[in-house]
Amino acid sequence: MPILFMILATVLWGVSFLLAKLALQEISTSSFLFFRYAVAAVSLLPFFLFQPKSLNRKLIKPGIYLSLLQAALMFAQTIGLETISASLSSFVSGFYIVFVLLIRFIITKKLPTAVDIITSLLCLAGLGLLTNSFGHPDPVGIGYTFICALFIAIHIYLLDQYLNEDTAFTLTFLQMVGIMIIFGCVLLCNHDLFQFPRKLLTWGSILVAGIGCSSVAYWLAAKAQTKLGAFKTSIILMLEPVFATLFAYLGLGETLYPMSFVGIGMILIAIGIINWRLAQGQSKTSH
């Protein structure tokens, strides 16, 4: 079940690249992110109000830290999307797996296992084949997206410190509210960035991104990470660029090459290895 939850989250995050591209045709990055997370926060508010013991004061500070990280990575990723393709953005974002290994080494002082390195390299090689041709990408857009990848890795590990079955929903809600407030403040400080959506397509993108790609996807991922842990979560998260590329192909007409399917296969093999290791660990525990 946790692996299924994580896969569903990657599907929703994969389509968010397409939705962001569509919305940014009319409104600014800050406006899109504010409206997206405002919708997410409002959609979760009724569940938060009627959930017993939903607010834990000890989670407020972690919620602020996670919100700041999420706002930073979303801003960097969305800025990057203004100048590079959705496929390239998903590929560069995938380098968070390298940062995850580095952070884990710094924290635990233990070298990654051979299987961890192989699965990570397999994922990156698969991503390279999946997003086969990028033309002449803008280096500024790539730089912002690399920053996003670093923040993704930090967020995964920070979230892992506070997650359990009881805190998953509250941390999700606090992040949605925190990100909304952050970008609301950005818009208040710079009125020129505020653009109210007028097109039905833009509002549709915001609503789907807010409810599906934010509130639902973040909750699913949080629930999954309570069982999987940081590294297994980060490997399965590699499915996000797969879905992002497929949705970019279907919705934006971006090119999908024959070798892209080989790349998808390599990523699926890596995730299969992680799934097998997880099953083996559960089997040993049950005995």
Q: What is the DSSP letter of 211?
A: I
pLDDT in tens, 123-148: 777 877 776 655 556 778 788 888 88
Residues 6+ apart with CB under 8 A from 275: 3
pLDDT in tens, 180-233: 999 899 899 888 888 898 999 999 999 999 999 999 998 888 888 888 777 778
In this structure, what token pair is assigned to residue 272?
């299969």
| Element housing 58 (H / E) | none
How far apart, in Å, are the Cα atoms of 210 and each of 12, 73, 87, 97, 265?
Answer: 11, 16, 21, 26, 30
The pLDDT score that the predictor gives to residue 285 is: 42
Q: pLDDT band for position 43 (50/70/90)?
A: very high
Per cent of the chain over pLDDT 90 is 11
pLDDT at 38 over 80: yes
The pLDDT score that the predictor gives to residue 278 is: 57
256 or 169: which leads in pLDDT? 169
Q: Please say whether the beta carbons of 285 and 138 come within 8 A.
A: no
Burial 203-228 (b: 16+ CB within 10 A, else e): eebbebbbbbbbbbbbbbbbbbbbbb
SS (H, E, C) 213-231: HHHHHHHHHHHHHHHHCHH
The pLDDT score that the predictor gives to residue 34 is: 92
Pure H helices in 138-257: 139-162, 168-189, 200-210, 217-228, 230-236, 239-252
pLDDT in tens, 267-278: 878 777 766 765
pTM (2 d.p.): 0.75
Query: Cα(10)–Cα(243) distance, rounded to whole angstroms?
Result: 7
Q: Please say whether the beta carbons of 97 and 238 come within 8 A.
A: yes
pLDDT in tens, 17-34: 788 878 888 888 889 989
In this structure, what token pair is assigned to residue 60?
């407020």
